[in-house]
Amino acid sequence: MAATLEELSRYLEEQGLSCQIEGDGDIEIRAANTLEDARAGEISFLANRRYTKYLGETQASAVVIDRHQEPPDGLTVLRCKEPYAAIALLIVKLHGYRRHPQVGIDPRAVLHPSARIGADANIQHNVTITEDVVIGDRATIYPGCYIGPGCRIGDDLVLMPNVVIYDGCVLGDRVTIHAGTVLANDGLGYAPVGEGWHKIPQAGIVEIGDDVEIGSNCSIDRATLGKTVISAGTKMSNLIAIGHGTKVGENCMLVAQSGVAGSVTLGKHVTLAGQVGVVGHITIGDGATVGAKAGVTGDVRQGDTVLGQPAIPIRQKRREIAILGKLPGMWNQLKNLPKRVRALESQLADRKRRASESDQPAQTPDPKDKR
């Protein structure tokens, strides 16, 4: 859809984002695009300073910027406190969002007679919903999904193709799970018996809070006893593994290929960057950030940022990196050190010898010597 910049500004205000137009509010905006690719009739945004250079080159009709950015002369801007949040809303406003097909309940879906499905469901072919499952209103479930016995699921569920939810899981409202993800498979629970392993039954469940989104091909283990919990508002990328009995707090962000072992506690608003590994039975405090490829082997304090393998506080890691950068020069100095030491030892020996010679008493002439 198309709208004037003034109309888009009012829309953002209605969504709770205060903004201010500088320039022509009557410009018609038809689409959103990047700074590099935008053309007339499109709106772009600047949320990362590294792209500032494109601000003076963009062909966009308007750009969303923060309150401190200085735009080039003649560029119409929409100032917002949070440009990234603003453009996200504008993309939905201008382009819409993924529109799920309205198919009702396909006759080729397999629904157990005891399953209870809410109003306005869209359940496609080859979906299996087993006994004693309860699903709220407006569920969207794509082909190949399986929901095991006794699951309890809230409103506005979205399951993309081939999601598997084992028995007993509890999901809140507005949960989205992308293709190929598995909830509540058995955790890695084995007791050593001689040289072999004895399986420990995994009798717990997985509980997912409201407004959680889980990427594709993730695996969230069921607890041995009790619950594995992903709390409300948490977002997970693709290829993430969560071990049995782990508790992930509210509004966390887990980036692709992260792995969290069992019985870990993540506080609220924790960020795990790509390929982070977390050992079991530790706590990561509220607001902590773990940098990419870090290996977390101990507790992380609230608000700390850690990096490295093993993960250490960022200030300490920066000192290590600074020292590592100096190692080539230090190595050259170290290679030359034996030669310099030998030269100094030789000089010292010469000085000692000369000092010893100068300290000998002068020889007195013999009076009998008539020569």
Q: Could you give the residue numbers annotated as active site?
A: 244
Contact 148, 163 (CB under 8 A): no
Q: Is the peptide bond before 310 cis (omega within 30 degrees of 0)?
A: yes
Q: Which two tokens stand for residue 127?
A: 């979906």
Three-class DSSP category at 84: helix
Distance (Å, whole) CA 277 – CA 284: 12
DSSP H helices, the chain, are 5-14, 83-95, 314-358
**Strand order through the sheet with 116-117:** 116-117, 134-135, 152-153, 170-171, 205-208, 227-230, 247-248, 265-266, 283-284
User: 240-250 burial, b if ≥16 CB within 10 A, otherwise e?
Assistant: bbbbbbbbbbb
Q: Which residues pair with 197 in a beta bridge?
A: 192
Backbone angles phi, psi at 34, to 5 degrees: -75, 165
Neighbours of 154 (CB within 10 A): 20
Q: What is the DSSP string of 197-254?
A: EEEPP---EEEE-TT-EE-TT-EEEPPSSSEEEE-TT-EE-SS-EE-TT-EE-TT-EE
